[in-house]
């Protein structure tokens, strides 16, 4: 019974530490997430700046995993040079080690004060202050968890089972390294495992050499979660996380046989036994950063050879010919074909949503998220491609067409978001709860859906031909959609006044879907505006001027 209580206390303290880490990451993301992402992308134009950017981001987010995933996504979007990405992660590794060192300074007495101050901040109206408050509460919980860990591990000094297990690890360093790495993978945090090792070593049950070996394992395991999280990502993103794993694995392979010598040197330096684990953690990551920093270009070439670019699949762009970039007319023609293929994907999403609504069939919604992901990827590739088209040979008409292509791609991406985040969950909720629209309400929504599909097809034709008359009709239909949306909302409110149960049960869904379809039509009609402006058929403002 006593061992069960000790186990519960130990796992509870670790869980509190992980929860505190999560609070810090979420709070910092809400408060300064955009600035962190911008700073990380902007601060990677040189080696030293890249290292500092990774260090600062990880100190803020309390998670090298979060930094690694952010960097991988930036590399995928070509916002960070791949060689610099590895340097960023070296800074991130040192950042998480510095965090562990700071946490172990014995600031547990600050925990109640931080929790109270963070709670007060989290109750303010400002979203930035609420995020900062959550982060401060998380730091307080982390410090509190250290106190609980110390109390939970204190009885372990008298445990014969733990003594036998540690004796086995003392004689099998590779097993100890793999054990600690496995714990770090399960916890998705090297920091949490290093803090746990810190608490165990404070009891005096671990030799200095074994502490070093367990810290090496925590470092190795901490590089695995980002690799697992990017398995389905592009080759460029996977190279970043695999490269980080290679660096840490190489560091562990070199340091493991030298752990005994490292222990001897640390004992000579008379480092505090209470901070031995975090000292070893920080020294290891600093040594790896110094060794790997000049080798980052070589590491990039190695990962590029290990993970070659995938063959272009049907999920990617098909008409963006890189060899045509020097010929603006050909390049923009390809980009135009590509953006029309995005329009076809949007049409498929709308058709699936309409079929699900009509047939109460959840299976028709299954592919919508997948299609929206393709829309996001392709429209991003279109924007990057158009930005690279040779400027020297472009005429004013080419510049106008380039802007039109990018604007249409952005509007189509917005439509995809509305379908996935608006119509998809609304229709799924209606089907899952067995709700039914009134017969009139169902007819109004189906009609608006059909008009939206027709408008999208007309927009595709407008984009392809530049026909001013067709563009004028598209804008006129947009006004018709606005009238229908208003009329349907008024009819729905009348049904509510009459107390019709089916309308009462589906009121919010009906109004939300009307709003989403209206938003989609507004994005669809936007393709006509530059054509009408160029033809003199659309004035700059519809506001009546004062006489």
Segment 487-513 shows an average pLDDT of: 74
In a domain, 109, yes or no: yes
Task: Name which of 126-140, 440-454, 513-527 the model is least confident about.
Answer: 126-140
- Structural domain range at position 64: 8-306
Q: 249, 273, 306 — which closes off a domain?
A: 306
pLDDT at 38: 61
Q: What is the pLDDT of residues 42-96, one digit of tens each?
A: 555 666 777 877 787 777 666 677 677 777 776 766 667 777 788 888 888 888 8
Residue 414 CA, distance from chain mean position? 18
Distances (CA, A) of 353 to 346, 404, 420, 448, 484: 11, 28, 10, 13, 20
387 shares a domain with 302 = no
Closest CA to 530 of 354, 374, 371, 400: 400
Element (H, E) at 149: helix 127-153
Distances (CA, A) of 482 to 226, 349, 446, 536, 537: 46, 22, 15, 24, 20
Euclidean distance between CA atoms 356 and 365, whole angstroms: 7
Segment 178-191 shows an average pLDDT of: 83
Distances (CA, A) of 154 to 6, 192, 311: 9, 18, 56
Distances (CA, A) of 545 to 479, 532, 541, 542: 21, 21, 9, 9
pLDDT at 253: 92
Spatial neighbors of 547 by CB under 8 A, at least 6 apart, are none
The enclosing domain of 445 has a CATH number of 1.20.58.220
pLDDT at 46: 63
**Whether 347 contacts 456, CB under 8 Å:** yes
Higher pLDDT, 47 or 451: 451
pLDDT at 211: 87
Closest CA to 427 of 359, 380, 377, 478: 359
477 shares a domain with 507 = yes
Instruction: Say if residue 346's pLDDT is above 90.
Output: yes
In a domain, 442, yes or no: yes
Instruction: Say if residue 313's pLDDT is above 70.
Output: no
332 shares a domain with 277 = no
Q: What is the pLDDT of residues 216-275, one digit of tens each?
A: 998 898 888 888 878 877 787 888 889 889 999 999 999 999 888 888 888 787 777 677
**Whether 402 contacts 386, CB under 8 Å:** yes
284 shares a domain with 366 = no
In a domain, 316, yes or no: no
In a domain, 317, yes or no: no
**Whether 411 contacts 527, CB under 8 Å:** yes
Segment 370-386 shows an average pLDDT of: 88
36 shares a domain with 74 = yes
In a domain, 540, yes or no: no
The pLDDT confidence band at residue 2, using thresholds 50, 70 and 90, is low
The pLDDT confidence band at residue 32, using thresholds 50, 70 and 90, is low
286 shares a domain with 342 = no
pLDDT at 155: 65
Instruction: Say if residue 296's pLDDT is above 90.
Output: no
236 shares a domain with 163 = yes
Segment 284-293 shows an average pLDDT of: 89
3-state secondary structure of 319: coil
Q: 275, 306, 337 — which closes off a domain?
A: 306
299 shares a domain with 347 = no
Euclidean distance between CA atoms 27 and 25, whole angstroms: 6
Instruction: Say if residue 344's pLDDT is above 60.
Output: yes
Percent of the chain at pLDDT > 70 equals: 82
Higher pLDDT, 374 or 82: 374
Euclidean distance between CA atoms 423 and 173, whole angstroms: 56
420 shares a domain with 390 = yes
Segment 444-473 shows an average pLDDT of: 86
Instruction: Say if residue 150's pLDDT is above 80.
Output: no
Closest CA to 293 of 532, 94, 131: 94
Instruction: Say if residue 518's pLDDT is above 90.
Output: no
Closest CA to 132 of 255, 33, 52: 33
The total domain count for the chain is 2
Q: What is the mean pLDDT of the chain?
A: 79
pLDDT at 543: 45
pLDDT at 205: 65
Phi (first) and psi of residue 204, to 5 degrees: 85, 10
Higher pLDDT, 104 or 307: 307
Euclidean distance between CA atoms 219 and 9, whole angstroms: 25
91 shares a domain with 43 = yes
Q: What is the pLDDT of residues 384-429, one digit of tens each?
A: 888 888 766 788 888 888 888 999 999 999 999 999 999 898 888 8
User: Which among 5-9, 134-138, 376-380 has the top mean pLDDT?
Assistant: 376-380
Spatial neighbors of 292 by CB under 8 A, at least 6 apart, are 86, 90, 247, 251, 299
Euclidean distance between CA atoms 163 and 156, whole angstroms: 9
**Whether 262 contacts 197, CB under 8 Å:** no
Closest CA to 346 of 375, 307, 324, 320: 375
In a domain, 64, yes or no: yes
Segment 143-170 shows an average pLDDT of: 70
Task: Name which of 221-225, 274-278, 449-453 the model is least confident about.
Answer: 274-278
pLDDT at 52: 79
Q: HEC profile for 388-433?
A: HCCCCCCCHHHHHHHHHHHHHHHHHHHHHHHHHHHHHHHHHHHHHC
Instruction: Say if residue 545's pLDDT is above 50.
Output: no
Euclidean distance between CA atoms 33 and 382, whole angstroms: 26
Euclidean distance between CA atoms 527 and 462, whole angstroms: 7
Instruction: Say if residue 538's pLDDT is above 60.
Output: no
Euclidean distance between CA atoms 531 and 462, whole angstroms: 9
Q: What is the pLDDT of residues 505-516, one digit of tens each?
A: 777 787 888 888
Instruction: Say if residue 40's pLDDT is above 60.
Output: no
The 8-class DSSP code of residue 419 comes to I
Residue 539 CA, distance from chain mean position? 41
369 shares a domain with 293 = no
The 8-class DSSP code of residue 394 comes to -
Instruction: Say if residue 18's pLDDT is above 70.
Output: yes
Segment 434-454 shows an average pLDDT of: 83
pLDDT at 203: 61
User: pTM of the predicted model, to two decimals?
Assistant: 0.58
pLDDT at 249: 92
In a domain, 169, yes or no: yes
In a domain, 159, yes or no: yes
The pLDDT confidence band at residue 467, using thresholds 50, 70 and 90, is confident
**Per-residue b/e over 236-245, b at no fewer than 16 CB within 10 Å?**
bbbbbbbbbb
**Whether 445 contacts 513, CB under 8 Å:** yes
- Ramachandran area for residue 61 (φ above 0: left; ψ -120 to 50: alpha; else beta): alpha
pLDDT at 547: 42
173 shares a domain with 53 = yes
């Amino acid at each position: 019974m006593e061992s069960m209580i000790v186990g519960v206390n130990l796992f509870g303290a670790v869980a509190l530490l992980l929860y505190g880490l999560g609070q810090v990451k979420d709070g910092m993301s809400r408060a300064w997430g955009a600035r962190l992402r911008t700073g990380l992308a902007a601060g990677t134009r040189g080696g030293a700046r890249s290292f500092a950017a990774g260090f600062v981001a990880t100190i803020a987010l309390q998670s090298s995993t979060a930094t690694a995933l952010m960097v991988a996504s930036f590399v995928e979007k070509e916002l960070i040079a791949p060689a610099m990405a590895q340097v960023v992660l070296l800074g991130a590794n040192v950042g998480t080690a510095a965090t562990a060192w700071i946490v172990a300074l014995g600031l547990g007495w600050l925990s109640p004060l931080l929790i109270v101050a963070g709670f007060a901040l989290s109750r303010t109206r400002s979203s930035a202050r609420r995020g900062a408050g959550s982060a401060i509460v998380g730091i307080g919980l982390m410090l509190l968890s250290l106190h609980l860990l110390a109390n939970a591990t204190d009885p372990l000094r008298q445990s014969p089972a733990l003594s036998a297990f540690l004796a086995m690890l003392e004689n099998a360093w590779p097993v100890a390294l793999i054990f600690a790495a496995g714990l770090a993978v399960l916890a998705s945090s090297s920091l949490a495992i290093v803090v746990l090792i810190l608490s165990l070593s404070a009891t005096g049950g671990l030799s200095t050499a074994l502490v070093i070996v367990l810290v090496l394992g925590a470092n190795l395991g901490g590089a695995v979660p980002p690799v697992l999280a990017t398995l389905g990502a592009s080759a460029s993103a996977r190279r970043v996380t695999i490269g980080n794993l290679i660096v840490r694995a190489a560091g562990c392979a070199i340091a493991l046989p030298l752990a005994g010598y490292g222990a001897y040197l640390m004992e000579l330096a008379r480092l505090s036994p209470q901070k031995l684990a975090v000292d070893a953690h920080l020294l290891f990551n600093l040594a790896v950063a110094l060794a790997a920093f000049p080798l980052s270009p070589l590491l990039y070439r190695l990962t590029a050879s290990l993970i070659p670019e995938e063959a272009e699949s049907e999920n990617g762009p098909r008409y963006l010919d890189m060899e045509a970039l020097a010929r603006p007319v050909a390049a923009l023609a390809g980009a135009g074909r590509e953006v029309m293929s995005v329009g076809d994907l949007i049409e498929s999403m709308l058709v699936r949503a309409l079929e699900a609504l009509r047939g109460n069939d959840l299976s028709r919604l299954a592919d919508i998220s997948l299609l929206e992901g393709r829309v996001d990827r392709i429209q991003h590739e279109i924007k990057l491609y158009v930005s690279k088209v040779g400027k020297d040979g472009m005429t004013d008409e080419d510049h106008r067409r380039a802007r039109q292509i990018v604007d249409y791609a952005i509007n189509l991406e917005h439509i995809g978001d509305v379908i996935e985040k608006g119509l998809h969950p609304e229709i799924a909720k209606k089907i899952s709860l067995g709700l039914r629209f009134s017969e009139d309400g169902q007819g109004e929504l189906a009609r608006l859906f059909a008009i939206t599909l027709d408008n999208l097809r007309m927009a595709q034709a407008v984009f392809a031909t530049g026909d001013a008359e067709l563009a004028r009709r598209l804008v006129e239909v947009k006004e018709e959609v606005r009238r229908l949306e208003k009329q349907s909302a008024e009819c729905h409110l009348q049904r509510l006044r009459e107390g019709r149960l089916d309308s009462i049960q589906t009121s919010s869904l009906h109004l939300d879907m009307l709003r989403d379809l209206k938003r989609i039509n507004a994005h669809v009609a936007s393709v006509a505006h530059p054509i009408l402006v160029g033809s003199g058929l659309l004035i700059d403002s519809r506001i009546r001027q004062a006489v």
